[in-house]
Amino acid sequence: MNDPSSLPLTPKGNNNLQTNTNTAAKKLQAFQNSKFMKLLRPILGVVVSLYIVFRLYQVLVVHQEYGADTWTRLLISGLIIGGVYSLIAIGYTLVYGILFMINFAHGEVMMFGAYAGLYSFWAFKIIPIAGDPPTNFLNAYPILAIILAFLIGMTVSATMGFFLEKIAYRPLRKAPRLVPLISAIGASIFLQNAAMLLFSPQLRDVTNPDILRRGAGWTIVINGSNVILPYTGVFTFILSILLLVGLYILVRKSKLGRAMRATALDKKTAALMGVDVDSTISRTFIISGALAGAAGVMWGIHNGLVYYFVGFIPGIKAFTAAVLGGIGNLPGAMVGGLLLGIVESMGPAALGIDFQLKDVLSFLILIFVLTFRPSGLLGEVLSEEKV
Protein backbone atom coordinates (compact mmCIF):
# COMPACT_ATOMS: atom_id res chain seq x y z
CA MET A 1 0.00 0.00 0.00
CA ASN A 2 1.49 3.32 -0.90
CA ASP A 3 -0.53 5.44 1.46
CA PRO A 4 2.10 8.00 2.38
CA SER A 5 0.81 8.61 5.86
CA SER A 6 1.66 5.05 6.82
CA LEU A 7 5.33 5.71 6.50
CA PRO A 8 6.75 8.90 7.89
CA LEU A 9 6.77 10.40 11.28
CA THR A 10 6.02 7.37 13.35
CA PRO A 11 7.39 7.31 16.87
CA LYS A 12 10.51 5.31 17.52
CA GLY A 13 10.20 1.60 16.96
CA ASN A 14 6.54 1.84 16.14
CA ASN A 15 6.18 1.73 12.38
CA ASN A 16 2.54 0.86 12.44
CA LEU A 17 0.52 -0.48 9.61
CA GLN A 18 -2.18 1.72 8.24
CA THR A 19 -5.30 -0.29 8.85
CA ASN A 20 -8.90 0.17 7.90
CA THR A 21 -8.72 3.92 7.50
CA ASN A 22 -10.48 3.90 4.19
CA THR A 23 -13.37 1.56 4.76
CA ALA A 24 -15.89 4.30 5.54
CA ALA A 25 -14.98 6.15 2.36
CA LYS A 26 -15.20 2.93 0.41
CA LYS A 27 -18.64 2.18 1.81
CA LEU A 28 -19.79 5.66 0.87
CA GLN A 29 -18.48 5.17 -2.63
CA ALA A 30 -20.10 1.76 -2.90
CA PHE A 31 -23.37 3.34 -1.81
CA GLN A 32 -23.02 6.09 -4.35
CA ASN A 33 -22.52 3.48 -7.06
CA SER A 34 -25.33 1.24 -5.88
CA LYS A 35 -28.42 0.49 -7.99
CA PHE A 36 -30.60 2.45 -5.64
CA MET A 37 -28.58 5.61 -6.14
CA LYS A 38 -28.30 5.02 -9.86
CA LEU A 39 -32.07 4.92 -10.06
CA LEU A 40 -32.69 7.71 -7.58
CA ARG A 41 -30.31 10.20 -9.11
CA PRO A 42 -32.02 10.87 -12.47
CA ILE A 43 -35.51 10.79 -10.95
CA LEU A 44 -34.57 13.26 -8.26
CA GLY A 45 -32.71 15.39 -10.78
CA VAL A 46 -35.69 15.69 -13.12
CA VAL A 47 -38.18 16.37 -10.32
CA VAL A 48 -36.05 19.07 -8.73
CA SER A 49 -35.19 20.74 -12.01
CA LEU A 50 -38.84 20.83 -13.06
CA TYR A 51 -39.85 22.31 -9.73
CA ILE A 52 -37.17 25.00 -9.89
CA VAL A 53 -38.10 25.95 -13.46
CA PHE A 54 -41.76 26.09 -12.53
CA ARG A 55 -41.15 28.34 -9.51
CA LEU A 56 -38.79 30.61 -11.40
CA TYR A 57 -41.39 30.94 -14.16
CA GLN A 58 -44.08 31.82 -11.61
CA VAL A 59 -42.01 34.36 -9.75
CA LEU A 60 -40.13 36.00 -12.58
CA VAL A 61 -42.67 35.87 -15.40
CA VAL A 62 -46.17 35.37 -14.06
CA HIS A 63 -46.21 37.43 -10.88
CA GLN A 64 -43.13 39.63 -11.24
CA GLU A 65 -43.22 40.10 -7.49
CA TYR A 66 -39.93 41.93 -7.12
CA GLY A 67 -38.39 44.83 -8.97
CA ALA A 68 -34.77 45.45 -9.89
CA ASP A 69 -34.25 47.34 -6.62
CA THR A 70 -35.10 44.31 -4.52
CA TRP A 71 -32.95 42.02 -6.62
CA THR A 72 -30.02 44.43 -6.24
CA ARG A 73 -30.51 44.53 -2.49
CA LEU A 74 -30.51 40.76 -2.34
CA LEU A 75 -27.48 40.52 -4.58
CA ILE A 76 -25.55 42.96 -2.39
CA SER A 77 -26.30 41.11 0.81
CA GLY A 78 -25.53 37.81 -0.92
CA LEU A 79 -22.11 38.99 -2.04
CA ILE A 80 -21.27 40.29 1.43
CA ILE A 81 -22.21 37.10 3.23
CA GLY A 82 -20.67 35.08 0.39
CA GLY A 83 -17.27 36.69 0.92
CA VAL A 84 -17.39 35.71 4.58
CA TYR A 85 -18.42 32.14 3.66
CA SER A 86 -15.51 31.97 1.23
CA LEU A 87 -13.01 32.94 3.92
CA ILE A 88 -14.29 30.26 6.24
CA ALA A 89 -14.65 27.70 3.45
CA ILE A 90 -10.95 28.09 2.61
CA GLY A 91 -10.16 26.67 6.03
CA TYR A 92 -12.24 23.55 5.44
CA THR A 93 -10.70 23.02 2.06
CA LEU A 94 -7.07 23.59 3.06
CA VAL A 95 -7.36 21.21 5.98
CA TYR A 96 -9.21 18.63 3.92
CA GLY A 97 -6.57 18.90 1.19
CA ILE A 98 -3.79 18.09 3.61
CA LEU A 99 -5.37 15.75 6.18
CA PHE A 100 -8.48 14.39 4.40
CA MET A 101 -10.64 15.33 7.34
CA ILE A 102 -13.41 17.84 7.91
CA ASN A 103 -12.52 20.22 10.69
CA PHE A 104 -15.98 20.56 12.15
CA ALA A 105 -14.69 22.85 14.89
CA HIS A 106 -13.74 25.47 12.29
CA GLY A 107 -16.90 27.49 12.90
CA GLU A 108 -15.93 27.77 16.57
CA VAL A 109 -12.49 29.04 15.55
CA MET A 110 -14.35 31.78 13.70
CA MET A 111 -16.57 32.43 16.75
CA PHE A 112 -13.52 33.13 18.92
CA GLY A 113 -12.31 35.58 16.28
CA ALA A 114 -15.67 37.33 16.47
CA TYR A 115 -15.35 37.63 20.26
CA ALA A 116 -11.79 38.94 19.90
CA GLY A 117 -13.09 41.63 17.55
CA LEU A 118 -15.95 42.47 19.88
CA TYR A 119 -13.72 42.87 22.93
CA SER A 120 -11.05 44.76 20.98
CA PHE A 121 -13.58 47.40 19.92
CA TRP A 122 -15.00 47.45 23.42
CA ALA A 123 -11.55 48.02 24.93
CA PHE A 124 -10.67 50.70 22.38
CA LYS A 125 -13.92 52.45 23.21
CA ILE A 126 -13.00 52.87 26.87
CA ILE A 127 -9.49 54.16 26.21
CA PRO A 128 -9.99 57.92 26.57
CA ILE A 129 -8.28 60.35 24.22
CA ALA A 130 -8.13 63.94 25.41
CA GLY A 131 -9.39 66.63 23.05
CA ASP A 132 -12.27 68.91 22.47
CA PRO A 133 -14.64 67.23 22.83
CA PRO A 134 -12.88 64.34 24.60
CA THR A 135 -13.15 61.13 22.65
CA ASN A 136 -11.90 57.57 22.72
CA PHE A 137 -9.31 55.52 20.90
CA LEU A 138 -11.95 53.76 18.77
CA ASN A 139 -13.16 56.96 17.20
CA ALA A 140 -10.00 59.02 17.38
CA TYR A 141 -8.02 56.47 15.38
CA PRO A 142 -10.70 54.33 13.74
CA ILE A 143 -8.53 52.90 11.00
CA LEU A 144 -5.83 51.87 13.44
CA ALA A 145 -8.50 50.44 15.72
CA ILE A 146 -9.98 48.38 12.89
CA ILE A 147 -6.55 47.09 11.83
CA LEU A 148 -5.72 46.17 15.41
CA ALA A 149 -9.06 44.44 15.91
CA PHE A 150 -8.43 42.31 12.82
CA LEU A 151 -4.88 41.51 13.88
CA ILE A 152 -6.09 40.47 17.32
CA GLY A 153 -8.99 38.45 15.94
CA MET A 154 -6.81 36.70 13.39
CA THR A 155 -4.12 35.95 15.98
CA VAL A 156 -6.63 34.52 18.44
CA SER A 157 -8.19 32.27 15.82
CA ALA A 158 -4.83 31.26 14.34
CA THR A 159 -3.65 30.24 17.79
CA MET A 160 -6.85 28.29 18.31
CA GLY A 161 -6.42 26.52 14.99
CA PHE A 162 -2.86 25.63 15.95
CA PHE A 163 -3.80 24.11 19.30
CA LEU A 164 -6.93 22.47 17.92
CA GLU A 165 -4.78 20.47 15.51
CA LYS A 166 -2.14 19.70 18.11
CA ILE A 167 -4.56 18.53 20.77
CA ALA A 168 -7.59 17.14 18.96
CA TYR A 169 -6.24 15.84 15.63
CA ARG A 170 -2.52 15.15 15.70
CA PRO A 171 -2.69 12.25 18.18
CA LEU A 172 -5.29 10.65 15.88
CA ARG A 173 -3.34 11.05 12.64
CA LYS A 174 -2.97 7.27 12.19
CA ALA A 175 -6.48 6.39 13.32
CA PRO A 176 -9.29 5.45 10.93
CA ARG A 177 -10.80 8.47 9.27
CA LEU A 178 -13.98 8.55 11.26
CA VAL A 179 -12.09 9.02 14.51
CA PRO A 180 -10.69 12.54 13.95
CA LEU A 181 -14.11 13.50 12.61
CA ILE A 182 -15.70 12.56 15.91
CA SER A 183 -12.92 14.37 17.71
CA ALA A 184 -13.72 17.44 15.61
CA ILE A 185 -17.37 17.36 16.60
CA GLY A 186 -16.30 16.94 20.22
CA ALA A 187 -13.93 19.90 19.94
CA SER A 188 -16.74 21.96 18.42
CA ILE A 189 -19.10 21.24 21.30
CA PHE A 190 -16.33 21.82 23.82
CA LEU A 191 -15.41 25.19 22.35
CA GLN A 192 -19.02 26.37 22.23
CA ASN A 193 -19.47 25.53 25.88
CA ALA A 194 -16.13 27.01 26.82
CA ALA A 195 -17.18 30.24 25.11
CA MET A 196 -20.51 30.21 26.90
CA LEU A 197 -18.76 29.88 30.26
CA LEU A 198 -16.08 32.41 29.42
CA PHE A 199 -18.24 35.07 27.82
CA SER A 200 -21.68 34.22 29.26
CA PRO A 201 -24.58 33.05 27.08
CA GLN A 202 -25.69 36.63 26.45
CA LEU A 203 -25.90 38.11 22.98
CA ARG A 204 -23.44 41.00 22.67
CA ASP A 205 -23.63 44.05 20.46
CA VAL A 206 -20.50 45.03 18.61
CA THR A 207 -19.69 48.73 18.84
CA ASN A 208 -18.20 49.79 15.55
CA PRO A 209 -16.17 52.96 15.09
CA ASP A 210 -18.41 55.76 13.85
CA ILE A 211 -16.96 55.62 10.35
CA LEU A 212 -18.28 52.06 10.06
CA ARG A 213 -21.71 52.68 11.58
CA ARG A 214 -24.01 49.78 10.92
CA GLY A 215 -26.92 50.63 8.66
CA ALA A 216 -25.18 53.67 7.19
CA GLY A 217 -24.05 53.55 3.60
CA TRP A 218 -24.10 54.95 0.14
CA THR A 219 -27.50 55.26 -1.42
CA ILE A 220 -28.17 54.36 -5.00
CA VAL A 221 -31.52 54.82 -6.63
CA ILE A 222 -32.86 51.93 -8.65
CA ASN A 223 -36.37 51.84 -10.05
CA GLY A 224 -37.12 55.00 -8.12
CA SER A 225 -36.37 53.41 -4.79
CA ASN A 226 -33.36 53.70 -2.54
CA VAL A 227 -30.91 50.84 -2.32
CA ILE A 228 -28.38 51.16 0.46
CA LEU A 229 -24.83 50.01 -0.07
CA PRO A 230 -23.76 49.62 3.57
CA TYR A 231 -20.29 50.77 4.57
CA THR A 232 -19.78 47.68 6.70
CA GLY A 233 -20.78 45.46 3.81
CA VAL A 234 -18.53 47.13 1.24
CA PHE A 235 -15.67 47.02 3.70
CA THR A 236 -16.30 43.36 4.50
CA PHE A 237 -16.55 42.38 0.87
CA ILE A 238 -13.40 44.19 -0.23
CA LEU A 239 -11.39 42.82 2.67
CA SER A 240 -12.62 39.28 1.96
CA ILE A 241 -11.56 39.53 -1.66
CA LEU A 242 -8.15 40.93 -0.69
CA LEU A 243 -7.57 38.12 1.79
CA LEU A 244 -8.72 35.51 -0.71
CA VAL A 245 -6.38 36.86 -3.39
CA GLY A 246 -3.54 37.03 -0.87
CA LEU A 247 -4.12 33.46 0.19
CA TYR A 248 -4.28 32.27 -3.40
CA ILE A 249 -0.94 33.91 -4.16
CA LEU A 250 0.55 32.43 -1.00
CA VAL A 251 -0.52 28.91 -1.91
CA ARG A 252 0.36 29.11 -5.62
CA LYS A 253 3.56 31.11 -5.52
CA SER A 254 5.33 30.97 -2.18
CA LYS A 255 7.69 28.35 -0.85
CA LEU A 256 5.32 27.65 2.04
CA GLY A 257 2.48 27.23 -0.44
CA ARG A 258 4.50 24.76 -2.47
CA ALA A 259 5.33 22.82 0.70
CA MET A 260 1.62 22.78 1.58
CA ARG A 261 0.65 21.48 -1.84
CA ALA A 262 3.44 18.90 -1.85
CA THR A 263 2.37 17.73 1.59
CA ALA A 264 -1.23 17.50 0.41
CA LEU A 265 -0.17 15.45 -2.60
CA ASP A 266 2.23 13.04 -0.91
CA LYS A 267 3.45 13.37 2.68
CA LYS A 268 6.20 10.79 2.44
CA THR A 269 7.77 12.31 -0.64
CA ALA A 270 7.39 15.81 0.78
CA ALA A 271 9.37 14.64 3.82
CA LEU A 272 12.04 13.29 1.47
CA MET A 273 12.35 16.80 0.03
CA GLY A 274 13.15 18.10 3.49
CA VAL A 275 9.67 19.45 4.24
CA ASP A 276 8.76 19.31 7.91
CA VAL A 277 5.36 17.71 7.41
CA ASP A 278 4.13 18.32 10.96
CA SER A 279 4.99 21.97 10.90
CA THR A 280 3.44 22.37 7.45
CA ILE A 281 0.22 20.89 8.80
CA SER A 282 0.41 23.26 11.77
CA ARG A 283 0.87 26.20 9.46
CA THR A 284 -2.12 25.11 7.41
CA PHE A 285 -4.25 25.27 10.56
CA ILE A 286 -2.73 28.63 11.49
CA ILE A 287 -3.56 30.10 8.08
CA SER A 288 -7.06 28.60 8.09
CA GLY A 289 -7.59 29.93 11.59
CA ALA A 290 -6.40 33.42 10.70
CA LEU A 291 -8.85 33.61 7.79
CA ALA A 292 -11.68 32.34 9.97
CA GLY A 293 -10.70 34.94 12.58
CA ALA A 294 -10.92 37.69 9.99
CA ALA A 295 -14.32 36.33 8.97
CA GLY A 296 -15.38 36.42 12.63
CA VAL A 297 -14.39 40.05 13.09
CA MET A 298 -16.19 40.93 9.85
CA TRP A 299 -19.26 39.08 11.01
CA GLY A 300 -19.28 41.17 14.17
CA ILE A 301 -18.76 44.41 12.29
CA HIS A 302 -21.42 43.76 9.69
CA ASN A 303 -24.06 41.77 11.57
CA GLY A 304 -23.43 43.30 14.97
CA LEU A 305 -24.26 40.37 17.21
CA VAL A 306 -21.79 37.99 18.79
CA TYR A 307 -22.66 35.00 20.97
CA TYR A 308 -21.23 31.59 21.71
CA PHE A 309 -23.23 29.94 18.95
CA VAL A 310 -22.33 32.50 16.30
CA GLY A 311 -19.87 30.22 14.50
CA PHE A 312 -22.22 27.32 14.06
CA ILE A 313 -24.41 28.33 11.14
CA PRO A 314 -21.68 30.17 9.18
CA GLY A 315 -19.46 27.15 9.82
CA ILE A 316 -21.91 24.73 8.28
CA LYS A 317 -22.69 27.14 5.46
CA ALA A 318 -19.00 27.50 4.68
CA PHE A 319 -18.62 23.74 4.77
CA THR A 320 -21.48 23.56 2.27
CA ALA A 321 -19.68 26.16 0.17
CA ALA A 322 -16.47 24.14 0.24
CA VAL A 323 -18.31 20.99 -0.81
CA LEU A 324 -20.18 22.95 -3.47
CA GLY A 325 -16.93 24.18 -4.98
CA GLY A 326 -15.21 20.82 -4.57
CA ILE A 327 -13.66 20.07 -1.21
CA GLY A 328 -9.88 20.32 -1.32
CA ASN A 329 -10.08 22.75 -4.22
CA LEU A 330 -9.01 26.28 -3.42
CA PRO A 331 -10.72 28.32 -6.16
CA GLY A 332 -13.69 26.02 -5.58
CA ALA A 333 -14.06 27.18 -2.00
CA MET A 334 -13.85 30.83 -3.04
CA VAL A 335 -16.41 30.46 -5.85
CA GLY A 336 -18.55 28.14 -3.74
CA GLY A 337 -18.71 30.68 -0.90
CA LEU A 338 -19.78 33.56 -3.12
CA LEU A 339 -22.23 31.39 -5.00
CA LEU A 340 -23.80 30.05 -1.83
CA GLY A 341 -24.12 33.57 -0.44
CA ILE A 342 -25.92 34.72 -3.57
CA VAL A 343 -28.15 31.64 -3.87
CA GLU A 344 -29.09 31.86 -0.22
CA SER A 345 -29.90 35.53 -0.51
CA MET A 346 -31.71 35.55 -3.86
CA GLY A 347 -32.93 31.97 -3.88
CA PRO A 348 -35.97 32.30 -1.62
CA ALA A 349 -37.19 35.30 -3.59
CA ALA A 350 -36.53 33.64 -6.91
CA LEU A 351 -38.33 30.47 -5.91
CA GLY A 352 -41.11 32.41 -4.23
CA ILE A 353 -40.60 30.78 -0.86
CA ASP A 354 -40.31 32.22 2.62
CA PHE A 355 -37.04 34.09 3.30
CA GLN A 356 -36.77 32.15 6.55
CA LEU A 357 -36.11 29.09 4.44
CA LYS A 358 -32.71 30.27 3.26
CA ASP A 359 -30.88 27.92 5.61
CA VAL A 360 -32.98 25.02 4.41
CA LEU A 361 -32.07 25.98 0.86
CA SER A 362 -28.36 25.87 1.72
CA PHE A 363 -28.61 22.45 3.25
CA LEU A 364 -30.66 21.17 0.33
CA ILE A 365 -27.80 22.33 -1.87
CA LEU A 366 -25.37 20.40 0.32
CA ILE A 367 -27.46 17.26 0.00
CA PHE A 368 -27.82 17.66 -3.74
CA VAL A 369 -24.13 18.25 -4.32
CA LEU A 370 -23.25 15.21 -2.25
CA THR A 371 -25.81 13.15 -4.14
CA PHE A 372 -25.20 14.28 -7.68
CA ARG A 373 -21.69 15.57 -7.81
CA PRO A 374 -19.67 14.73 -4.69
CA SER A 375 -16.55 16.16 -6.29
CA GLY A 376 -18.20 19.59 -6.39
CA LEU A 377 -18.52 22.18 -9.14
CA LEU A 378 -14.84 22.56 -9.91
CA GLY A 379 -14.44 18.82 -9.92
CA GLU A 380 -10.90 17.76 -9.32
CA VAL A 381 -9.45 17.97 -5.85
CA LEU A 382 -6.00 19.06 -4.77
CA SER A 383 -5.12 15.64 -3.60
CA GLU A 384 -4.45 12.70 -5.79
CA GLU A 385 -4.84 10.16 -3.11
CA LYS A 386 -7.65 7.83 -4.01
CA VAL A 387 -10.16 7.12 -1.35
Partner 1 sequence: MILNVDNISVNYGAINALRDISFTLNEGEIVALIGANGAGKSTSLNTVSGLLRPTTGKVEYLGSDITTVTPQAIVNLGIIQVPEGRKIFAKMSVWENLEMGAYTVKDRKVIQERYEMVYQKFPRLKERRNQPGGTLSGGEQQMLAIARGLMAGPKVLLLDEPSMGLSPILVEQIFDIIQEINKTGTSILLVEQNALMALAIADRGYVLDTGRIVLQGDADDLLHNPTVINAYLGGETTD
Ligand X SMILES: Nc1ncnc2c1ncn2[C@@H]1O[C@H](COP(=O)(O)OP(=O)(O)O)[C@@H](O)[C@H]1O
Binding site for partner 1 (CB under 8 A): 2, 7-17, 255, 258-259, 261-262, 265-266, 268-276, 382, 384
Residue 130 interacting with ligand X (CB under 6 A): no
CB contact at 8 A, 176 and 23 = yes
Give the integer Cα–Cα distance in Å for 5 and 266: 8
Q: Which does 255 bind (CB under 5 to 8 A by kind): partner 1, ligand X, none?
A: partner 1
| 6 contributes a contact to ligand X by CB under 6 A | yes
> In terms of DSSP H, where are the helices of 200-329?
231-253, 255-265, 267-272, 277-303, 312-325
- In the complex with partner 1, the residue whose CB is nearer, 2 or 64, is 2
Q: Which is nearer to partner 1, 280 or 345 (CB)?
A: 280
Tell me the closest approach of the beta carbon of residue 1 to ligand X, in angstroms.
Answer: 6
Residues in Cβ contact with 387 at an 8 Å cutoff, skipping those fewer than 6 apart: 22, 25, 26, 29, 100
Rounded Cα–Cα distance for residues 179 and 276 (Å): 24
Angle at 171 between CA 169 and CA 174, to 5 degrees: 90
Kindly tell me which of 6 and 58 has the beta carbon lying closer to ligand X. Answer: 6
Number of chain positions touching ligand X (CB under 6 A): 2
At residue 10's C-alpha, the angle toward residues 8 and 11, to 5°, is 150
- Partner in contact with 229, chosen from partner 1, ligand X, none, beta carbon below 5 to 8 Å by kind: none
298 touches, from partner 1, ligand X, none (C-beta below 5 to 8 Å by class): none
Q: What is the dihedral of CA 267, 270, 272, 277, to 10 degrees?
A: -70
| Residue 134 site contact among ligand X, partner 1, none (CB < 5 to 8 Å, cut-off depends on kind) | none
Q: Count CB atoms within 10 A of the CB of residue 182.
A: 12
- Cα–Cα distance measured from residue 279 to residue 272, given in angstroms and rounded to the nearest whole number: 15
- Say which entry of partner 1, ligand X, none residue 132 contacts (CB below 5 to 8 A, set by partner kind): none
58 binding partner (options ligand X, partner 1, none; Cβ < 5 to 8 Å by kind): none
Distance CA 196, CA 310 (A): 11
Query: Residue 6 CB, nearest distance to ligand X (Å)?
Result: 5
Residue closer to partner 1 by CB (options 205, 380) is 380
Q: Which is nearer to partner 1, 260 or 287 (CB)?
A: 260
Select from 11, 12, 13, 17 the one that contacts ligand X (CB under 6 A): 17
To 10 degrees, the CA torsion angle through 362, 363, 364, 369?
90
Q: Evaluate whether 164 touches 105 at the Cβ level (below 8 Å).
A: yes
Cβ closer to ligand X: 23 or 49? Answer: 23
Provide the minimum distance between the beta carbon of 13 and partner 1 in the complex, in angstroms, as a whole number: 5
Q: Taking CB within 5 to 8 Å according to partner kind, which of ligand X, partner 1, none is near residue 2?
A: partner 1
- Is 258 exposed, middle or buried, given 0-12, 13-18 or 19+ CB atoms closer than 10 A? middle
Q: Which is nearer to partner 1, 58 or 375 (CB)?
A: 375
Min CB(39)–partner 1 separation in Å:
35
Nearer to ligand X, 17 or 221 (CB): 17
Question: Whole-angstrom Cα distance, residue 316 to residue 363?
Answer: 9
Q: Which is closer to partner 1, CB of 47 or CB of 272?
A: 272
Q: How far is the CB of 16 from ligand X (least distance, A)?
A: 8
Kindly calculate the radius of gyration of the chain based on its CA atoms and give it in whole angstroms.
22
For residue 306, give the amino acid letter: V
Which partner in ligand X, partner 1, none is near 274 (CB below 5 to 8 A by kind)? partner 1
Q: Contact between 126 and ligand X (CB under 6 A)?
A: no
- Give the nearest distance from C-beta 97 to partner 1 in angstroms: 11
- With CB under 5 to 8 Å by kind, the binding choice for 354 among ligand X, partner 1, none is none
The closest alpha carbon to 126, from 143, 138, 110, belongs to 138
Residue 382 interacting entry, from ligand X, partner 1, none, C-beta within 5 to 8 Å by type: partner 1
Using the rule CB under 6 A, is 207 a contact of ligand X?
Answer: no
- The burial of 43, by beta-carbon neighbours within 10 Å (0-12 exposed, 13-18 middle, 19 or more buried), is given as exposed
Q: How many residues does the chain have?
A: 387
Binding site for ligand X (CB under 6 A): 6, 17
